[in-house]
Amino acid sequence: MAEEKSMFDRVSDLTVAVRKMSDVLKKLGNPEEAMSRLATLEGKRLSFRQYTEAKASATYPFNYIAAIALAAGATNRIQGNITISQKGWFFADRVFASYLPSADAGGAGTANMWGPLARSNPYIAGAGAIAAAQVVNQVNFFLEYYDGRTQQARQNLPIPGDILYRTDHDGFILPGGDAFGPNANIAVFVTPTVAPVNAGVLYITFNGIQCHDVLPQ
């Protein structure tokens, strides 16, 4: 009799445990959906960027800029460098170029005023053809950049500088974002196709999202 009662108690306890488990599963919802959410959280269905941004302590828009000095009358290949923050990964979404001549062109008063990029820019071409006006302090160039962490070039041939800024297309888009790890070095190279009339600085801006893995106290 005692043995039967013991068996009854065990069955009763098991029934209670199953009911409690059932309540827990109901709170989770559809088991398949719960497993799907779990898989997503584990990164199994996320891209590397989505997973990295999701687990970061914070993410925010950020710009890394390489300032490359161009000498007057020279077409040599020049290197600039960017070092990614040690705080986390950076995902570059777009690259911009801006040119700031440091001297006037023929007394035109354009020193330290942003100059036009590339003769193929429709606005520049139109200014020369329609207004018959000389477009001063323009710069034409090729761009290259490399991820120093992986020693990987981001192009098979130098990138034409005219796609970095045009009035019909703004910036050079990086589909899905280009991922650079903490402390990575981005080596940026510029090669003028025509020697600049005046010295100046070409600013190459990488615009994207910075992940911050450890927030300062």
| pLDDT per position as a tens digit, 33-77 | 656 656 666 656 788 999 999 889 999 999 999 999 999 999 999
Regarding whether 122 and 193 lie in a shared domain, the answer is yes
* Structural domain includes residue 190: yes
Mean pLDDT along residues 80-96: 96
User: CATH number, domain at 145?
Assistant: 2.60.120
Cβ burial 155-178 (10 Å sphere, 16+ → b, else e)? eeebbebbbbbbeeeebbebeebb
Regarding whether 129 and 28 lie in a shared domain, the answer is no
Regarding whether 62 and 9 lie in a shared domain, the answer is no
Regarding whether 118 and 88 lie in a shared domain, the answer is yes
* Structural domain includes residue 94: yes
Regarding whether 109 and 177 lie in a shared domain, the answer is yes
Segments forming the whole domain that contains residue 24: 2-41
Overall number of domains in the chain? 2
* Structural domain includes residue 46: no
- Comparing C-alpha atoms, which of 131, 99, 93, 126 is closest to residue 112? 99
pTM: 0.74
